[in-house]
Amino acid sequence: MSERPTAVLIHGLSETRHVWHRQISFLEQYFRVISYDVRGFGESPTGNADGTVRQFADDLAQLLSAFDTGPVWLVGFSMGGVISQRFALDFPNQTKGMILIASSCTVGTLGQKFFNYRIQQVQKGGLKNIAETNNDDARGCFFTKDEKLIEEYKKLRVTAVQDPAGYLNACHAMLDVGANPLTPELNTIGCPASVIAGEHDPYCPPKASKMIADAIPNANLSIIENVGHCMQFEASDQLNDQISSFITSH
């Protein structure tokens, strides 16, 4: 078994493991790092998908069974944070702790409209519409006006989706969280949890992170100033420090 803590990096909607490249190069100095493509994105096939976050958590459990890791630290961004919460609930003995970045534990009315609209767009226009929608969504993820960063993220999002069914599955999974919020279950989580929000995040605002932190016993909440949704890009050094310091302090 690895003597170093294992950190598992879980990306969000319309992303791949490559979204973490600014974190991996730093975190690998201190931890064993595992990053992967969530079902339906990048190199992971959609397969027999059922439109639930629980299946995403089951996928991760199956993946980790191939490694001799022991309990792992979950580092989840946005949808990846939702997967992390579900995993911690369903596989507590495999969860050492978790760091939830720009995430949520439920999907409100506006979020449901967000996902329903994207489902409709994909059903109408397939991959072409996903590319157009992803470009708009990518720009909205940033508070900075740094076009180089935004363009880098736009390219990643467009190439992440090779199968419309994978994108639709993830949207349906998030809608399922709207119908069945994780919030009532979170008080059963006993592992250390750090919840990190971006001050100007329009998709998962600080109030969404506060909802998670309030529900998980002894969770730590922090807000990174002057950033939007994509903290891995906009505040990579600060985020890396928070991830590493939280893990090493436990």
Q: What is the largest CA-CA distance in the chain?
A: 50
d(CA 79, CA 63): 18
Give the chain's domain count: 1
Q: What is the CATH number of the domain that holds 103?
A: 3.40.50.1820
Torsion of Cα atoms, 182 then 236 then 13 then 216, to 10°: 0
Q: What is the pLDDT of residue 2?
A: 52
Provide the total of helices (H) and of strands (E) in the chain, helices listed first. 9, 6
The predicted model scores a pTM of: 0.97
- Is residue 192 within 8 Å of residue 244, measured between CB atoms? no
Neighbours of 148 (CB within 10 A): 8
In a domain, 70, yes or no: yes
In a domain, 1, yes or no: no
- DSSP bridge partners of 73: 7, 97
Q: Structure tokens of 4?
A: 């170093």
In a domain, 221, yes or no: yes
* Beta strands per DSSP E along the chain: 6-10, 32-35, 72-77, 95-101, 193-198, 220-224
- Is residue 223 within 8 Å of residue 199, measured between CB atoms? yes
Q: What is the pLDDT of residue 1?
A: 45
Q: Structure tokens of 112?
A: 């449901």
In a domain, 118, yes or no: yes
Burial of 178 (0-12, 13-18, 19+ CB in 10 A): middle
Instruction: Please count the CA atoms within 13 angstroms of the CA of 17 that sit on its side-chain side.
Output: 14
Nearest to 12 by CA among 131, 96, 138: 138
Domain of residue 198: give its range: 6-248
Q: What is the pLDDT along the chain (250 residues), one digit of tens a residue?
A: 458 999 999 999 999 999 999 999 999 999 999 999 999 999 999 999 999 999 999 999 999 999 989 999 999 999 999 999 999 999 999 999 999 999 999 999 999 999 999 999 999 988 888 888 888 889 999 999 999 999 999 999 989 998 999 999 999 999 999 999 999 999 999 999 999 999 999 999 999 999 999 999 999 999 999 999 999 999 999 999 999 999 999 9
Q: What is the pLDDT of residue 68?
A: 85
- DSSP letters spanning 5-33: PEEEEE--TT--GGGGHHHHHHHTTTSEE
Instruction: Please count the CA atoms within 13 angstroms of the CA of 233 that sit on its side-chain side.
Output: 22
Instruction: Please count the CA atoms within 13 angstroms of the CA of 95 that sit on its side-chain side.
Output: 25
